[in-house]
Amino acid sequence: MWEYTDKVKEHFINPRNVGEVESPDGVGEVGSMACGDALKLSFKLDENQRIKEAKFQTFGCASAIASSSALTEMLIGKTIAEAEKITNEDIADYLGGLPKEKMHCSVLGRDALEKAIYCYRGQGEKEIDGRIVCECFGVTDKEIERAVKENSLKTIEDVTHYVKAGGGCEKCHDDIQQIIDAVYNTVPEVVEAKKTLTNIQKIRLIEETLEREIKPALQKDGGNIELIDVDGDLVKVQLIGTCATCKASQLTLKNYVEARLQEMVSPDLIVEEVK
């Protein structure tokens, strides 16, 4: 049995905004019955160009239904420009997280939203972008690359959890690995570029890396981390929760937090704990 959060369960049992909006301003349909999940999202704007109504129809498991329901709730009241910024992680976070095998449900929501906005702008059906890599689930190289970049995916299994690619006959596993490798081979270039970061850019990137990656990892073990200050290349942090009392916390700090920040932000960073 899946470990769903109470919020996922609640949205599944009492889904919000089921159905289709009458004379919608945007409609997005993604997925298929063969794939195991599908979502049709429609929305309507009010006179102030804010989303007044958003509805969904979903074929899928509990987390697909909950993700769709959450998405409609998140959309209502937003402008298109605001709605556009919603990522799959946002949908998962709104629900208090999803089991990693179910992250593709949140991606489904994001994809439907993107299509609906596309439709709203009169750009018609979004064309298939890129080359189909996974034939079982019809996933393109561009989609895989995007998921890898946006969610820092590292393995073929991760990719399968997020966009389903590779979850069928497994013949495309080599292709997927190549895409992952290609994404991370560009990392040195990115680091080069980051060397010229302004102080503000550097701090933002540190914060972003902490939020996106490091905090969730520590939280899994009941700990957490807070950014206190950045002084040149010195990153001052405070460890919270189980991390604060853990004997291995210095190891965590150096081997994980510092290593990760060096990789993602700048190789010169030094992480120090302030008590």
Partner 1 sequence: MDIVYMDNNATTKVDPVVLDAMMPYFTEFYGNASSMHSFGGAVGREIAAARDKVAALINAEPGEIIFTSCGTESDSTAIYAAIRSNPNKKHIITSRVEHPAVKNLYEYLAKTGYRVTWVPVDKDGVLDMDFFRRHLSDDTALVSIMWANNESGVIFPIAEIADALKDKGIVFHSDAVQAVGKVPVDVKAVGLDMLSLSGHKLHGPKGVGALYVRKGAKFSPFMIGGHQERGRRGGTENVASIVGLGRASELVKGHLEEMNTRVRALRDRLEEGLLKNTPNALLNGAKDLRLPNTTNISFEYVEGEAILLMMDQFGICASSGSACTSGSLEPSHVLRAMGVPFTAAHGSIRFSLSTYNTEKEVDFVVEKLPPIIERLRHMSPFWKGAGCQLQ
**For binding to partner 1 (CB under 8 A), which residues are involved?**
2, 9, 12-13, 15, 18-20, 22, 29, 33-34, 36-40, 56-62, 64-65, 101-102, 136-137, 160, 164, 167-168
Cβ count near 114 (within 10 Å): 17
Tokens 């704990």 label which residue? 273
Least spacing, CB of residue 87 vs partner 1, in Å: 22
Looking at 35, 134, 172, 243, which residue is catalytic?
A: 35
Distance CA 103, CA 50 (A): 28
Least spacing, CB of residue 103 vs partner 1, in Å: 12
Distance CA 49, CA 51 (A): 7
Looking at residue 205, the DSSP 8-state letter turns out to be: H
**19 close to 39: Cβ distance less than 8 angstroms:** no
Least spacing, CB of residue 30 vs partner 1, in Å: 10
Q: Pick between residue 96 and residue 232 the one whose CB is nearest to partner 1.
A: 96
Q: Pick between residue 130 and residue 168 the one whose CB is nearest to partner 1.
A: 168
Torsion angle, alpha carbons of 193, 204, 83, 146, to 10: 40
Tokens for 162, please give them: 């997020």
Tokens 């996922």 label which residue? 8
Q: Pick between residue 30 and residue 271 the one whose CB is nearest to partner 1.
A: 30
Tokens for 206, please give them: 């540190």
Cβ count near 66 (within 10 Å): 32
Distance CA 37, CA 229 (A): 45
Q: Pick between residue 38 and residue 51 the one whose CB is nearest to partner 1.
A: 38
Alpha-helix residue ranges (DSSP H) falling in 5-155: 6-13, 62-75, 80-84, 88-94, 103-120, 141-151
Q: Pick between residue 60 and residue 223 the one whose CB is nearest to partner 1.
A: 60
Q: Pick between residue 167 and residue 223 the one whose CB is nearest to partner 1.
A: 167
Looking at 105, 119, 134, 172, which residue is catalytic?
A: 105
Q: What is the 3-state secondary structure (H, E, C) of 17-35?
A: CECCCCCCCEEEEEEECCC
**Axis-axis angle for helices 103-120, 156-163 (nearest 10):** 50
Active site residue 35: yes
Least spacing, CB of residue 91 vs partner 1, in Å: 17
| Residues identified as active-site | 35, 105
